[in-house]
Amino acid sequence: MDDYATVIAMLNHTWFGAELAPETQERLAKLGVVTGFESDEVVIHEGQPSEKMGILVSGRLALRTLVPGKGLVTIMSVEPGDIFGWSSVLPGMQAQSSVVATESCQALVIDGARLRAALREDHALAASVYPRVLEAVGRRLRATRLQLLDLFGR
Amino acid sequence: MITSPAPSQAAAARQWFLARGDLNSLIDALKESGRRVIGPTIRDGAIVYDEIASAGDLPAGWRDEQSAGHYRLDRRTDERLFGYTVGPTSWKRFVFPPNLTISTAHRSGQFGFDQPNPEPPQLAFLGVRACELAALAIEDRVFLGGQFQDEDFRARRSAAFIVAVQCTTSSGTCFCTSMGTGPEVHGGYDILLTEIDEGFVVQAGSPGGAAIVAALPARRPSHAESGAAVDMVEAVRARIGETLPIPGLAERLKLQLDNPRWAAVAERCVECGNCTMACPTCFCTAVVERSDMDGKLAATDRLWDSCFDSSFARVAGGDFRARPQDRYRQWLTHKFSTWVDQFGTMGCVGCGRCITWCPVHIDVREELMAIAPPVPPVERPVAVEPVAASPGSFSIARVAGVKAETEDTYTVSLSDMDPAFLRGRPGQFVMIALPAFPAVPISISRFRSNGIDLTIRAVGPTSTALTNLHPGSKGGVRGPLGTFWPIEDAYGRHAVVVAGGVGLSPLHGLVDALVANRDRFETVSLFYGTRTPEDRLFQDDLARWAASSAIDVAVTVDRAGPEWKGRVGVVTTLFDKIPWDCSKVTAFVVGPERMMQASVQGLISKGVPPDRIVISMERHMECGIGLCGHCQMAGRFVCKDGPVFRLNDLGEMFNREGI
Amino acid sequence: MATIGSTARPRVAVAKFASCDGCQLTILDLEDQLLEIVSRFDIVEFPEATSRRSPGPYDIVFVEGSISAPEHYDQIKELRKQARILVTIGACASSGGIQALRNWADHDAFRAAVYEHPEWVESLATATPVSDHVKVDAELRGCPIDGSQLLELLTAVLVGRRPQIRDEAVCRECKRKGIVCMVVARGEACMGPVTTSGCDALCPTYGRGCFGCFGPRAGANAASWSRGLQKAGRPPEEVWRLFAGFTAYAEPFRSVVTELGAKKPAPAGPRR
């Protein structure tokens, strides 16, 4: 059992959690578990059912995908404040890439099934969590588009 | 720009002097030749063109005062007959009548169409100014220059006998000097008059003109009289000045179709169409049918129409130019831009009628300057006089060492060179060549105590040859050239250096300078993005800077293998969480153009002021000093006016594809 | 549709609401064409010309006057039912006319001030254009209408084409006629830039500024012209008078009249 005050303090240091209403922060703090990952630890496996969403508090995670002929490619890194495992709250619930810690990390991790159930029944929670998930996904979409443009193309 | 038959040298040289009191002899001679004389005369508070019986009908001793939406007559202190400029009438009225029956149809007896083709009136135009001759020449192109021609215009135009008058006065709405149409008359007349103190200096410009001049009670002018005629017109040119910069205007206007000023001017414009009616070149017409009640006779009239009419571009399905700003834009861009495409000249002669006769005081000169202002020259101090600037002359430098930065990029250290190179500034470049290899522009990436570093990607023959050099080899350099980073733009602010790929090279010297003067800036940071970790330049320096407290370094790569522990994501993701007040950021950005565009867009959306974003452009360069023309970018030479530009120096040019 | 060659003469009615009959007189003033007109049209109703009454239906109904009294409501609807083509003639029918100024005033107070027994006077608080009540097929503008526009409309009906009634600024007729602009050259007030053409620039031809009796042309920038006149030194009261003169209730003049009316001091009110 985590000390909620500590978890809420952690949330307040992330863009994802900082502006949430106090009761929503408390709800998330109760749902989540503060978890540490060691460097090189695989947090989520690409292609597997998504079982957790997390908010990275410190450290760095790499989103990796297996590209035939090129091996494992890091397509993006997750920096403190950002989320990972968003696919666990979107239909399909299948991980789009592997999430690997590149250094030791701390994150608030929420079980996917519990989060989905909570979002279904608590509309206030859903109304504040989904826009942020969308913002994060939208930002990745924009970054991916720029990657497709190949800014450094030669 | 206007083509008119120039008078022969002999005719131009043969001048006569006609006393002012004898001008009637000219009018009489014109009338005796079977012509009605149309000239300036006062009616309803303005000088209009109408039939005149004698010189007594001319506005002797009057002058006009004109400004936007304002016209008044006033007495002169002398009795000059042409001491004013152009009024509300233009000669268009007499060669292209405002209301003309172009065909009639009858139903009585046999059905048919008749085209009235009366003999054109035999008119003499007295007092045609230089801008008006230019307007007639433009109408010639419009009506007679294409596959289909206006026969009525042709008949009236060729019947007209033209007595031109050079302007010896100007008004506030004149801008012929800008349009290249006046005040001097160059051909296109039968007789030319220049009014001086006591009378007229007269020249004939056609055989018909010469015949009439020969019969006048004229004598040869004195040198003083001929000289006065030239001086007076020159004085008018000086008085008008060049208020509207025309070079490049046609092209600039085409890039300003979305300018918000169109909507602003449309708020004022009442769409009365007076500008188009007063304009001596506007040629749009409407065709109107009329018929009598028993249906036996029908006629088709052609009226002067105006593109300001809300129905002008309407079809059954709607209006192509539905908004007032669409119509204003259509008119102005036609006059000053698309007319050139259609007829080879601008549609404006600078007579100023559209300005004077606009009841809501709209001045096209002001609108053009606001919508498509001329590109102001980039004014930058010269860091140091370059050595061996002209192409072909080179200063010799020795290669001290070559260091691989990435798979295809090397830093070539030069030494034993002219000390001027060491006094160059970060952002500048040199042209470097080897025997048998053409010179290429390379940014100076570092200034050392005994030379400079050039960081070169091996992509072409010269750059590949340069990266293959051994220490001790010699090369030819010219420079340092171009503009440099305005480091003072970041004093007291957050200095942010944004580099993409090899773009870090021209920024390296800037980072060194920022670090060396660290206390002048609020913060100093470097955001560096490359495609992969292996593409990072200056890895030793990056590590050194990252370890220093003087500068924050954030590096990101687009993609990486599992061994890369650093950040992955495009360079713009580094802006997401900039902790500072972005209005206090000065950003220096270099990278491939697409990366710079994405970065500039990202910085502006975060609130960085566009005039505090400085970029370095890359273009093909052959000479490096603004003579070869290769690096031209819409009015700029990147080599001479750049390569370092403030974003607002470039304006619309940045982010435009294909410039 | 009666066209050339057909023997049936179109039945024409002229109807009148609140108006001065000036437009009807314009028809009678077409002396040279009157015989031609009556030989081609069967004029069955014309209060200014004949007391003969004839029930509908009619091919053309010319309507003069604005809708200003309660009984007008039913009358105009009945006329519309009887008319194949309904044409409004004049400023009153097309825009409400001068009497539409009451739309900004206290109608009851006016009525009480003017009439001994106001309770005997049946009148509406507003004077409104015909087009506010029924569909109008064509408008002949002006106070009064222009004879040639009327002839053109009649001719067009006979020939079976759309009448050529241009909607352009009066300035354009002025410029084609070579009239010097009195606004620019003499600093005088003129409604030409915002007023629709059709009068052949009648007032400017005689050296007077346009009074705007033909009303606003489509899309007229009345706001800018109101500013322009005031910038040229015309006091707001005078600008109000110009816009309020004949077609005050026609947008966009209506907005200018409302805006300037709000600024101007309240009128002294009618006296007994």
- Helix (H) or strand (E) segment spanning residue B240: helix B223-240
Cβ within 8 Å, pair B359-C207: no
The confidence score (pLDDT) of residue B13 equals 55
Class of domain B489-616: alpha beta
How many Cβ atoms sit within 10 Å of the Cβ of residue B540? 9
Cβ within 8 Å, pair A152-B570: no
| pLDDT tens-place string over residues C84-106 | 999 999 999 999 999 999 999 88
Average pLDDT of the residues in A8-24 = 89
Q: How many residues does chain A have?
A: 154
Q: How many residues does chain B have?
A: 659
C143 shares a domain with C203: no
User: Over 70: is that where the pLDDT of B11 sits?
Assistant: no
Contacts of C194 in chain B (CB under 8 A): 270, 272
Start-to-end C-alpha separation, chain A:
53
Start-to-end C-alpha separation, chain B:
27
Confidence at C108, pLDDT banded by 50, 70, 90: confident
Class of domain A4-149: mainly beta
Q: State the smallest CA–CA distance between residue C153 and chain B in angstroms.
A: 10
Identify whether B562 is preceded by a cis peptide bond (ω within 30 of 0). no
Q: Tell whether C91 is covered by a domain.
A: yes
Least confident of A141-150, B162-171, B589-598: A141-150
User: Over 90: is that where the pLDDT of B115 sits?
Assistant: no
C185 shares a domain with C128: no
Q: Tell whether C5 is covered by a domain.
A: no
Least confident of A41-55, B306-320, B480-494, B597-611: B306-320
C190 shares a domain with C146: no
Q: How many residues does chain C have?
A: 272
Nearest Cα to C191, choosing from C112, C265, C91, C64? Answer: C91
Q: Tell whether C56 is covered by a domain.
A: yes
Q: State the smallest CA–CA distance between residue B653 and chain A in angstroms.
A: 19
Q: What is the full DSSP assignment across chain A? A: ---HHHHHHHHHTSHHHHTS-HHHHHHHHHHEEEEEE-TT-EEE-TTSBP-EEEEEEES-EEEEEEETTTEEEEEEEEPTT-EE-GGGGSTT-B-SSEEEESS-EEEEEEEHHHHHHHHHH-HHHHHHHHHHHHHHHHHHHHHHHHHHHTTT--
C137 shares a domain with C20: yes
Average pLDDT of the residues in C142-149 = 95
- What single-letter DSSP state applies at residue C55? -
Distance CA C122, CA C235 (A): 37
User: Over 50: is that where the pLDDT of C271 sits?
Assistant: no
Least confident of B60-69, B157-166, C225-234: C225-234
Confidence at A41, pLDDT banded by 50, 70, 90: very high
C218 touches chain B (CB under 8 A): yes
Which of the two residues, B655 and B65, has the higher pLDDT score? Answer: B65
Q: State the smallest CA–CA distance between residue B162 and chain C in angstroms.
A: 21
> Which among B531, B535, B559 has CB closest to A75?
B559
User: Which whole-number Å values give the CA distances from C256 to B3, C215, C248, C249, in the listed order?
Assistant: 49, 13, 9, 10
Q: What percent of chain C has pLDDT over 90?
A: 70
User: Over 50: is that where the pLDDT of C24 sits?
Assistant: yes
| pLDDT tens-place string over residues B424-450 | 999 999 999 998 888 999 999 999 989
C178 shares a domain with C133: no
Q: Tell whether C183 is covered by a domain.
A: yes
The burial class, CB within 10 Å (0-12 / 13-18 / 19+), for B305 is buried
* Chain C: residue whose CA lies nearest to B287: C164
Distance CA B623, CA B478 (A): 10
Confidence at B1, pLDDT banded by 50, 70, 90: very low
Distance CA C56, CA C42 (A): 12
Contacts of C221 in chain B (CB under 8 A): 267, 269-271, 324
Structure tokens at B213: 């001049």
Cβ within 8 Å, pair C224-B43: no
> Which among C152, C167, C228 has CB closest to B311?
C167
Q: Tell whether C259 is covered by a domain.
A: yes
Domain boundary among C116, C135, C159: C159
| pLDDT tens-place string over residues B182-201 | 999 999 999 999 999 999 99
Cβ within 8 Å, pair B43-C180: yes
Structure tokens at B24: 């009637």
**Do B421 and B452 contact (CB within 8 A), yes or no?**
yes
User: Over 80: is that where the pLDDT of A70 sits?
Assistant: no
User: Domain spans of chain A?
Assistant: 4-149
How many Cβ atoms sit within 10 Å of the Cβ of residue A29? 23
C206 shares a domain with C128: no
Contacts of B566 in chain A (CB under 8 A): 60, 77, 102
C172 touches chain B (CB under 8 A): yes
Cβ within 8 Å, pair C220-B270: yes
| pLDDT tens-place string over residues B469-526 | 999 999 999 999 999 999 999 999 999 999 999 999 999 999 999 999 999 999 999 9
Residue B320 makes CB contacts below 8 A (sequence gap 6+) with: B313, B314, B326
Q: What is the full DSSP assignment across B344-390? A: SS-S-----HHHHT-TT---HHHHHHHHS---PPP----SSPPBS-S
Average pLDDT of the residues in C218-225 = 94
Q: Tell whether C128 is covered by a domain.
A: yes
The confidence score (pLDDT) of residue B625 equals 85
Three-state secondary structure call for residue B607 = coil
Distance CA A30, CA A19 (A): 17
Distance CA B613, CA B517 (A): 20
Q: Which alpha helices (H) appear in B414-489, and where do they start and end?
A: 461-467
Q: State the smallest CA–CA distance between residue C149 and chain B in angstroms.
A: 11
> Which among B43, B288, B359 has CB closest to C183?
B359
Among the four given CATH numbers 2.40.30.10, 3.40.50.2300, 3.40.50.880, 2.40.50.140, the one describing domain B395-481:
2.40.30.10
Q: Would you state the torsion angle of the CA atoms of residues B634, B638, B640, B644, taken in this order, to the nearest 10 degrees?
A: 120
Confidence at A2, pLDDT banded by 50, 70, 90: low
Distance CA C176, CA B546 (A): 77
Three-state secondary structure call for residue B60 = coil
Distance CA B270, CA C190 (A): 13
Cβ within 8 Å, pair A152-B573: no
Say which residue the tokens 């268009």 belong to: B92
Confidence at B174, pLDDT banded by 50, 70, 90: very high
Which of the two residues, B591 and B652, has the higher pLDDT score? Answer: B591
> Which among A103, A143, A152 has CB closest to B535?
A152
Number of domains in chain C: 2
User: Which whole-number Å values give the CA distances from A31 to A16, A89, B435, B544, in the listed order?
Assistant: 15, 14, 72, 43
Domain of residue C119: give its range.
11-159
Q: Which chains, if any, share at least 3 CB pairs under 8 A with chain B?
A: A, C
The burial class, CB within 10 Å (0-12 / 13-18 / 19+), for A38 is exposed
Which of the two residues, A11 and C196, has the higher pLDDT score? Answer: C196
Distance CA B171, CA B355 (A): 11
Cβ within 8 Å, pair B89-C178: yes
Contacts of B324 in chain C (CB under 8 A): 219, 221
Contacts of B44 in chain C (CB under 8 A): 179-180, 182, 185-186, 207
Contacts of B286 in chain C (CB under 8 A): 166
Structure tokens at B158: 């060729």
The confidence score (pLDDT) of residue A57 equals 93
The confidence score (pLDDT) of residue B593 equals 86
Q: Which pairs from B103-108 meet CB under 8 Å and 24+ separation?
A: B103/B299, B103/B300, B104/B297, B104/B298, B104/B299, B104/B300, B105/B297, B105/B298, B105/B299, B105/B300, B106/B296, B106/B297, B106/B298, B107/B295, B107/B296, B107/B297, B107/B298, B108/B296, B108/B297
User: Over 90: is that where the pLDDT of B619 sits?
Assistant: no
Three-state secondary structure call for residue B30 = helix
Three-state secondary structure call for residue B596 = helix
User: Over 90: is that where the pLDDT of B652 sits?
Assistant: no
Domain boundary among C112, C131, C159: C159
Cβ within 8 Å, pair C175-B273: yes
| pLDDT tens-place string over residues C124-142 | 999 999 999 999 999 999 9
Cβ within 8 Å, pair C158-B99: no
Q: What percent of chain B has pLDDT over 90?
A: 73
Distance CA B184, CA B131 (A): 9
Confidence at B657, pLDDT banded by 50, 70, 90: low
**Do B375 and B288 contact (CB within 8 A), yes or no?**
no
Q: What integer best gives the mean pLDDT of chain C? A: 89
| β-pairing verdict for C11-16 and C42-45 | parallel
Give CA C182 to chain center in angstroms. Answer: 25
C197 shares a domain with C133: no
Q: What integer best gives the mean pLDDT of chain B? A: 91
Confidence at B10, pLDDT banded by 50, 70, 90: very low
User: Over 80: is that where the pLDDT of C7 sits?
Assistant: no
| β-pairing verdict for B429-434 and B409-415 | unpaired
Name the interface residues of B facing A (CB cutoff 8 Å): 459, 500-501, 529-531, 535, 556, 558-562, 564-573, 576-577, 591-592, 594-595, 598
Distance CA C209, CA C188 (A): 7
The confidence score (pLDDT) of residue B378 equals 60
Cβ within 8 Å, pair C176-B304: yes
* Chain C: residue whose CA lies nearest to B361: C228
* Chain B: residue whose CA lies nearest to C38: B293
The confidence score (pLDDT) of residue C113 equals 84
Q: Rounded to 5 degrees, what are φ and ψ at B287?
A: -110, 125
Least confident of B46-55, B225-234, B286-295, C214-223: B286-295
Q: Rounded to 5 degrees, what are φ and ψ at A29?
A: -60, -35
Strand segments, DSSP code E, in B463-575 are: 474-481, 494-500, 523-530, 552-557, 567-568
Q: ipTM of the predicted structure?
A: 0.91
Confidence at C264, pLDDT banded by 50, 70, 90: low
Q: Tell whether C193 is covered by a domain.
A: yes
Q: State the smallest CA–CA distance between residue A44 and chain B in angstroms.
A: 15
Q: State the smallest CA–CA distance between residue B379 and chain A in angstroms.
A: 31
Letter for the amino acid at B644?
A: V
Residue C69 sits in a domain whose CATH number is 3.40.50.700
Domain boundary among C92, C124, C159: C159
Q: Tell whether C54 is covered by a domain.
A: yes
Confidence at B93, pLDDT banded by 50, 70, 90: very high
User: Domain spans of chain B?
Assistant: 9-240, 249-371, 395-481, 489-616
**Do B309 and B273 contact (CB within 8 A), yes or no?**
yes
The answer to whether A and C touch (≥3 CB pairs < 8 Å) is: no
